[in-house]
Amino acid sequence: MNQSRGREALEGLKVVDFGWFVAGPMMTKFLADNGATVVLVEGGLSKVQALRTGSPFKDKKPGVNRSGYFAMYASGKYSITLNLSHPRGLDIAMRLVAWADVVAESFRPGVMKELGLDYDRLKTVNPSVIMVSSTNQGQTGPQARQPGVGTQLVSLAGFTEITGWPDRVPAQPFGAYTDVIAPRFGVVAILAALDYRRRTGKGQYIDLSQYEAGIQFLAPAALDYSVNGRVLKRAGNECPYACPHNVYPCVGEDRWCAIAVFSDQEWQELCRLMERPELGQDPKFSTLGSRKQSEEYLDQIIGSWTRSHRAEELMDKLQSAGIAAGVVSNGRDLREDSQLKYRHHFWVIDHPEMGPHSYDGPPYLLSKTPASVKRSAPCLGEHNEFVCREFLEMSDEEFLDLIETGVFD
Amino acid sequence: MSDTANRRDQALSSYRVLDLTDEKGYLCGRILGDLGADVIKIESPQGDPGRNIGPFYKDMDDPEKSLLWFAYNYNKRGITLDITKDAGKEILKKLVRRADFLIESFPPGFLDGLGLGYEDLRQVNERLIHTSITPFGQDGPYRDYKGPDLIGMALGGYLYLTGDIDRPPVRISAPQAYLHASTDAAVGTLMAHYHAVSTGEGQHVDVSMQQSVVLLLMMARPYWELTGTYLKRTGSFRSGIGSGALQPQTWPCKDGCVSYAVFGGPQFAPFNRAMVKWLEMEGLADEFITSIDWDTVDMMTLDKGFHDAVSERISKLFLSHTKDELYQGAIAHGLMLYPGNSIEDLLASPQLQSRGFWVEVEHPELSDKITYPGSFAHISDTPCLIRFRAPCIGEHNETIYGQELGMLPHERIDLKMEGVI
């Protein structure tokens, strides 16, 4: 039932996306899923963007139209390949800017200016355009142009130091964590700017720093340092106000169940389920404070119990008894997760080279204007002609003439 | 509707938000407040339960001193209201009549049970956008499951990918799942708003924290589908390089760690040559490292011996310096290296300081100022900023009930006696 069911929230909104990698494209993917028309401007075969050559590939066979990594942030977008160093490529880009409400990009600071596509230039063809630039560290400041990849920014923004075990080198949070925080803030800023524009006719420029957006998620710890001088440390899976609170081994290879006990009553229930009533009656474990004293011991007891159970079974059993528990889901678990299925999180759409492939839907369901993943990720330059004719209203002659200049190559 | 001078210059200054969330949803209302909306935090007369979550100001365990509360409730005014009492329900409906948004994070069905669900409230205000933030959404098999941070990170697939391979998966030691959900809730709310301003039609926005976490998985999500195998957690190492080789991604240094990677191919060769030059300057280069032809280095095909030998030399450099020395060195040598900043380091960051990121916020009730992380984005004409600190319990009862809803003093006293406000 992967079909749009009527009007979507952002219908009529026009977006040009010069983004690459994750942080920029993720913003415009959210817009596309909710009805915006998004044109992805990317390099042609001579300058293919990095994510198109990033694994995993369909059947492990590399190809510019086979990357699952690229696909997940590109669904529902139109792809046009443009050589922006070619004067006529730049001209087409500017015509798209004139057509658009929003221009998004995620190059290193200064690159859009070198291309002749900085905000001041965009305003000359579209005075009310909203431009958003997503970068590692923002457009200004001494380290704005310091190169670095997203997986490293996680360390700069303070997340690595607080993830992992106190007795070891930090285990950095998976992936480019700040790359997936910033886009949500970016979309908020875009939608707010659109509202302001509707009321005033004025566009504006949004400078989004992944570094700064990421630190929003560490705000209580930052206050704790500035007020109490306390520096948050990594603490495994410990939580100051819950115990037990950990991840426990289950039947099968690399299978785990997370369990979090917040109240004394939940602790009693857990002891009942483990058939260890004597633990429940033991005053050494009757309060949070006393359990924290014996946390390692309790973890061992629970682990020896969970080891002979399946993670799914434990989750259901514990949750039914009012105890927070969850399977530590891997890729297969997510695709089979009954709640995600119920919420229709995954949208399976046929792709010319990848075949049926799943795309993420948004985490919010809008009751009157439900979102939809409309099309599979575009093949490289799949919509060159469509974009030129439909959105830029080019004549046949002009389009054919452009092909010959090599501007799409 | 009340206003302050600077709020008029902000993008959402003409809108009002009723915020009934607990700690699962604080950030959503704050984001709208950062953009200028008039956010009214509605809490029970006893104070919001989230006020009891630490850390606390000067470690004083007090509902008026929770730093979690401070961090995610600034730019909000605060009133108390017991919405389970009949008089409280009527007052909420009065407020809803004049509001654009209502955000809440009650268990699914709770508001419906009180006669205050979306279907009830839209009778009062057709244009209302009602946003619900819950662990798994309003309906479905997990609807009533408990979903604290650890469980959200687990069932959303992020936990599996983080941690050392020889130990259980591990979470980030500061709760994250509901911050993603709250930010997504702000996105969904403003999408619905975009539709409402052109059609006059409000709607319900149903946010699932579990799904918000799934959106963190990057290439790990399609990995299983396309290859039938899982990406495994690799702790401080980089995954996905060839021949079972492991290369550190997080490297120990003199006072902590730094993030650095050796990438292969001609594109990254200049970075690798710069590293070799640095090693030479420090007297740590030998024949092995100086003779590598970086243009032809392919990370996928070189064996473990090669990777270990390269790592060993780089390790020596890192262990002899502090993370700040290494970051400064990386800037000077043009290398891609970032320090593993602690919270303390973040406050000292010259980059953040130069952008005015850290902001001192007045807390008159404490006779103190506290340093906060500032705006989440620089928006050129309609700034995103901190206007005032989080409210004390019932701080704006008089302004909102008295001046704005026109309740007389004796009415307010009666409501207070009845425990409604």
Rg (CA), chain B: 26
CB atoms within 10 A of CB B388: 15
Among chain A residues, the shortest Cα distance to B180 is held by A181
Give the active site residues of A: 179
Q: What percent of chain B has pLDDT over 70?
A: 97
CA–chain centroid gap for B322, Å, is 29
User: What's the first-to-final CA gap in chain B, in angstroms?
Assistant: 21
Measured CA to CA, the distance from residue B115 to residue B224 in angstroms comes to 44
A to B CB pairs, distance under 8 Å: 510
Whole-number average pLDDT of chain B: 94
Residue A358 exposed, middle or buried by CB count within 10 Å (0-12, 13-18, 19+): buried
- What's the rounded Cα separation, in Å, for the pair B6 and B388? 11
A224 CB near a chain B CB, below 8 Å? yes
Between CA B412 and CA B421 the distance in angstroms is: 8
Tell if the CB–CB gap between B352 and A211 is shorter than 8 Å: yes
Whether residues A164 and B163 touch (CB distance < 8 A) is answered with yes
Report chain A (409 residues): mean pLDDT per 10 consecutive residues.
68 96 96 98 93 92 95 97 96 98 97 97 98 97 91 96 96 95 98 97 97 98 98 97 97 98 97 96 95 97 98 98 98 96 97 96 97 97 98 96 95
Q: Among the listed ranges A141-155, A201-215, B311-325, B365-379, which one has the minimum average pLDDT value?
A: A141-155
Residue in A151, A212, A323 nearest the CB of B357: A212
With a threshold of 0.95, does the pTM exceed it? Answer: yes
A356 Cβ under 8 Å from any chain B Cβ: no
Per-residue model confidence as pLDDT tens digits over A312-345: 999 999 999 999 999 999 999 999 999 999 999 9
Which residues are within 8 A (CB) of A253 and not within 5 positions of it... i.e. 6 or more apart?
none
* Residue B160 confidence class, pLDDT cut points 50, 70, 90: very high
d(CA B265, CA B296): 6
- CB distance from B350 to chain A under 8 Å? yes
Q: How far is CA B130 from CA B17, B32, B143, B182, B201, in A?
A: 10, 14, 18, 14, 12
Instruction: At B80, list the tokens.
Output: 């108390």
Q: Residue B300 has what pLDDT?
A: 75
pLDDT value for B40: 98
What are the chain A neighbours of B157 within 8 Å (beta carbons)?
A: 329-331, 333-334
Instruction: Give the list of residues 6+ apart from residue A338 with CB closer than 8 angstroms, or none.
Output: B140, B141, B142
Q: Which helix (H) or strand (E) covers residue B368, if one does? A: strand B368-373
Write out the two tokens for B36.
């200028």
A293-297: long-range contacts, CB 8 A cutoff, minimum separation 24? A295/A238, A295/A243, A295/A244
pLDDT of B264: 85
Q: What is the pLDDT of residue A4?
A: 47
pLDDT over threshold 80, residue B311: yes
Contact between B207 and A363 (Cβ < 8 Å): yes
Flag whether residue A61 sits within 8 Å of chain B, measured between CB atoms.
no
Q: Describe the crossing of helices A177-200 and A23-33 by its angle, rounded to 10 degrees.
A: 50
Look at residue B240 and tell me whether its pLDDT is greater than 80.
no
Q: Which residues of A touch B192 (CB under 8 A)?
A: 9, 366, 368-369
DSSP labels for A8-26? -TTTT-EEEE---TTHHHH
Write down the pLDDT at residue B6.
Answer: 59
Look at residue A2 in the predicted model and tell me its pLDDT: 40
**Which pLDDT band, with edges at 50, 70 and 90, does B241 fall under?**
low
